DNA sequence: TTGAAAGCGATACCAG
DNA sequence: CTGGTATCGCTTTCAA
C-alpha cells in the first residue's frame, strides 16, 4: 500500500532515521536522548554518531505531545512598552531562562485582545503555566483557567483563588500623599486611571490611600482636584491606554488654570507624573517650588527625570511570580493553596518634591 | 488488553470524546472544527452541541504536529527593556496579532544566552518563523537557520542572505554630526558601543558617519574625543550591556575634565545621550549653551527629556519585518530572494542642540 | 538491555 | 457527505 505523505515534511531527519542508521530501535534512540534508561555504551556511541552525522534535532512538538508539557509559560499584560511592565517581564525572563522555560507573550490593550488571549489559554496544552501582569482577573476567568488546569500566578493584581505577588497600593498612596502633606501641601491633586469594567486596577487603591491620608490629616478632599483617565483599555481608538502621559499633561494643565490651583500632584504612575511635570513647565511653573509632583512605580524614566516617586520592586515582582509558578510546576499535582507574596514600597525622594 | 495510561492526562476531553458523544466519526468532528470540508447541517449541530457540553478545546500541540506549523514566531533581541527594542517589539506584535500569530521572545544579553537561543531555534518545529532584532548574525548562524528551514527576517541588522529592514546608519551618523557642525561645533565627541566579537553593531556605521562628516568639513578627528563602551554583551557581570547610560555618563564626565573639552557630543543611542546630559548637569554645564548633545533612535524617553536626536522608525521597523515574514510564510515554498527594506532617518531638533 | 507497539490528539487522504 | 485509518515524531510500558 502506497503511503501518501500528506504534508511535505519540513525539517530534517526524525528519530527513526537515526535508529535505522545506528542499527537500533527508536526506543533505544529515545533512551539515549532522554537519558532516563540505561543503554549499552557501544550502542549509545553508535546512536550519538548517527545523530551527529545526520544533524538530527528532536521535534519538541512531538516530545511535548507525548510528555504532556511544553516548557513554555505565557505572560499576559497590557502595555508591554510601559517601563514598569517591561521591567517585570525582565524579572520573569531572567528567572525562567535558567530553568529552560521559554516565554510567550500576549499583549492585551483592548477588550477584544483580552478575549482573544483568554480563548488562547483555553486552548489547552500550549502553555505549562501562565503569569498575568496588571490585568484584572474575573471569577469567570479563574474558572476557565481551572478547567484548563493551567497553573497561574498573578503579578500586580490579586484574586483570592490564585497565587499573587502584590504591593499594598493603598499604603503606597497614603505614603505618597503624606509625603506631600508633610511638606505643607493641602491642595493636592490626584491623577490616575478610572476603574475599568474589567475590574480593579492599581489606581483605585492608590486613590483610596490618597483619600485616607487626606482624611487623617483633616484635609478636605476637593473633587475638583481629582482626575482619572477614562478607560481606554477598552477602546484602543482612544489611544495607547492608561498611564497616558499626554492625557495626564492636559488634565493637569486644566487643573492649573483654576482659580485655586493645586500646589502638588500625586500621580498614580510615573508616566502620568511626567505629564504633570510637562504641564507645569508649559505654564512656566517651577518644580517643586510652584508645583510639587510625586509619581508611582519608580521606572527608569523616573530616575532620569529626577522624579520623586513611590518605588515598588518591579523586576523582583516578576522574578517572584516566576518563582512561585516554577514551584507549582515542579510540585506536580500537589496543588498548594494560593501563595501570596507582598512586596514593600518606599518613597524615593528626588527633585520634584 | 488493559491500556495503561502512562501520563495522567491533563486537560479535558479529546476529539474522540466529542465524536462518541455526537455519534459521528472523529473525521467529521475534525471537519466541523477546521471548516475545510462540508458537513451535513444536522451532524454539524450535534457536533457543536457535544463540543459545547463537553467544554472541549482542541489541542494545538496535536494540531501543530499534524499540520507541520505552530502559529508562533520567535523574536530574538538583546535588551528587551531598551526603549527602542520594545518599540520594535510592539510593531511586531501589532502586526502579528491580526494574523493570529503568537510571539515567543528570547532575550539575549550574553554569549551564553545567545548560544542557548540558537540551539533552541535549531530545535526545529517550535517556531514557524523568526525575527532577529539588533543582533549580529554570522554565516554559521545563517547556515543553521537554513538547515532548519526557518524563515528569518532581520531588523536593525543585515546579512546578505536574509531579508532585512534597516536604516542607513552611516547616513544617520553623518546627519547628526553635520547638525552639530552646522551649529559651529568642531570639538565633537562620539559616544557609542565598541564593535563586538559577535559582529557588527549599529554603533559602527554611526561612527563611520561621524568620521565622514568630520572629514568632509575639514575637521580633524581627535581620538581623545571618542569613547566606545567595552562590549558587555559578552560579559553580563559587567552590567546591563550596551547603550548604558551610567557608563556613558562617566565617560563624558571624564571627557569634560580635559583641558580642551568637547563642546558637543554625538551619542550613538538616546540612553547614552542622556548619560551625556547628566554628566553636563553634574558639572554645572548648560545645555545646549556649554554642551550640545544629540542622540540616536528617538525613543520615548528622548521626547520626554527634549533630546535632539536622529529619529528612526522604531515601531514601523518591527511591523515591516513582521510583514515580510508573514509574506514569506504565506507564499509557501516560493522562496523569494532576500527582501531589503530601507527606512528613513531624520533629525528631530529639540532642546539639546 | 533491548525491541515492539501503544499511546499523545489532531488532520486529511482514500473509499464508499 | 461520511467513516476508517495512516501519519506527524517522540516517550514509555510490556515482554523478552
Residue B236 has pLDDT above 50, yes or no: no
Task: Yes or no: say if B72 and B103 are a contact pair by the CB < 8 Å rule.
Answer: yes
Residue (of A294, A346, A310, A298) closest to A183 by Cα position: A294
CA distance B85 to B81: 7
Best of B6, B10, B118, B322 to disrupt the A interface by mutation (most A CBs within 10 Å)?
Answer: B10
Burial class (CB in 10 A: 0-12, 13-18, 19+), A241: buried
CA distance A106 to A116: 9
Residue (of B137, B202, B193) closest to B168 by Cα position: B202
Burial class (CB in 10 A: 0-12, 13-18, 19+), B160: exposed
| Cell numbers found for residue B134 | 539588533
Q: Which residues of A touch B67 (CB under 8 A)?
A: 7
Q: Looking at the complex, report in whole angstroms how far the Cα of residue A57 sits from the nearest Cα belonging to chain B.
A: 6
As a rounded value in angstroms, the CA-to-C1' distance for A15 and C5 is 16
Q: Walk me through the domains of chain A, giving residue ranges and CATH numbers.
A: 7-66 (1.10.260.40), 72-167+315-343 (3.40.50.2300), 169-312 (3.40.50.2300)
Average pLDDT, chain A: 90
pLDDT in tens, B97-121: 999 999 999 998 877 888 888 877 7
Cβ-based neighbours of B193, under 8 Å, separated by 6 or more: B201, B203, B228, B229, B231, B242, B243, B268, B269
A59 touches strand C (CB under 7 A): no
B66: closest chain A residue by CA: A7
Q: Virtual CA dihedral for A86, A87, A89, A91, nearest 10 degrees? A: 170
Residue B334 pLDDT grade (very low, low, confident, very high; cuts 50, 70, 90):
low
Is B119 an 8 Å CB contact of chain A? Answer: no
SS3 A214: helix
Which pTM value belongs to this model?
Answer: 0.93
Residue B6 has pLDDT above 60, yes or no: no
pLDDT in tens, A182-230: 999 999 999 999 887 666 689 999 999 999 999 999 999 999 999 998 8
Burial class (CB in 10 A: 0-12, 13-18, 19+), B218: exposed
| Cell numbers found for residue B120 | 533552541
Task: Yes or no: say if B199 and B137 are a contact pair by the CB < 8 Å rule.
Answer: yes
pLDDT in tens, A240-254: 556 789 999 999 999
Mean pLDDT for the stretch of residues A106-132: 83
Residue A305 has pLDDT above 80, yes or no: yes
Least confident of A13-17, A276-280, A330-334, B116-120: A330-334
Task: Yes or no: say if B169 and B310 are a contact pair by the CB < 8 Å rule.
Answer: no
B5 touches strand C (CB under 7 A): yes
Protein-contacted bases of chain D (C-beta within 7 A): 1-14
- Give the pairing type, strands B264-267 and B188-193: parallel
Residue nearest to nucleotide D11 (CA to C1'): A66
Sign of the CA dihedral A331, A334, A335, A339? negative
Residue nearest to nucleotide D9 (CA to C1'): A62
Residue B275 has pLDDT above 90, yes or no: yes
Amino acid at each position: 500500500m502506497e503511503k501518501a505523505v500528506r504534508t511535505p515534511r519540513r525539517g530534517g531527519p526524525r528519530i527513526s532515521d537515526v535508529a535505522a542508521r545506528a542499527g537500533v530501535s527508536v526506543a533505544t534512540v529515545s533512551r539515549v536522548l532522554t537519558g532516563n534508561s540505561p543503554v549499552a555504551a557501544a550502542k549509545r556511541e553508535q546512536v550519538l554518531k548517527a545523530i551527529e552525522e545526520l544533524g538530527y534535532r528532536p521535534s519538541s512538538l512531538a516530545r511535548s505531545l507525548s510528555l504532556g508539557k511544553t516548557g513554555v509559560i505565557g505572560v499576559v499584560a497590557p502595555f508591554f512598552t510601559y517601563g514598569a511592565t517591561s521591567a517585570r517581564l525582565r524579572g520573569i525572563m531572567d528567572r525562567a531562562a535558567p530553568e529552560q522555560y521559554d516565554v510567550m507573550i500576549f499583549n492585551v490593550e483592548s477588550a477584544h485582545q483580552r478575549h482573544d488571549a483568554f480563548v488562547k489559554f483555553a486552548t489547552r496544552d500550549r502553555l505549562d503555566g501562565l503569569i498575568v501582569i496588571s490585568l484584572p482577573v474575573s471569577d469567570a476567568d479563574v474558572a476557565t483557567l481551572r478547567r484548563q488546569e493551567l497553573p497561574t500566578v498573578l503579578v500586580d493584581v490579586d484574586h483570592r483563588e490564585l497565587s499573587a505577588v502584590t504591593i499594598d497600593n493603598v499604603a503606597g498612596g497614603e505614603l505618597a500623599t503624606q509625603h506631600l502633606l508633610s511638606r505643607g501641601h493641602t491642595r493636592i491633586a490626584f491623577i490616575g486611571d478610572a476603574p475599568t469594567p474589567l475590574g480593579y486596577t492599581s489606581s483605585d487603591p492608590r486613590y483610596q490611600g490618597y483619600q485616607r491620608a487626606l482624611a487623617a490629616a483633616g484635609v478636605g478632599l476637593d473633587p475638583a482636584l481629582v482626575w482619572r483617565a477614562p478607560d481606554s483599555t477598552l477602546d484602543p481608538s482612544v489611544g495607547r491606554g492608561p498611564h497616558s502621559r499626554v492625557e495626564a499633561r492636559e488634565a493637569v494643565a486644566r487643573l492649573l488654570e483654576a482659580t485655586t490651583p493645586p500646589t502638588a500632584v500625586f500621580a498614580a504612575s510615573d508616566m502620568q507624573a511626567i505629564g504633570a511635570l510637562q504641564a507645569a513647565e508649559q505654564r512656566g511653573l517651577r518644580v517643586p517650588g510652584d508645583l510639587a509632583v510625586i509619581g508611582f512605580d519608580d521606572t527608569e524614566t523616573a530616575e532620569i527625570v529626577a522624579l520623586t516617586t513611590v518605588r515598588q520592586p518591579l523586576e523582583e515582582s516578576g522574578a517572584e511570580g516566576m518563582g512561585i509558578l516554577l514551584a507549582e510546576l515542579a510540585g506536580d499535582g500537589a496543588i498548594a493553596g494560593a501563595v501570596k507574596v507582598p512586596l514593600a514600597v518606599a518613597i524615593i525622594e528626588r527633585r520634584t518634591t
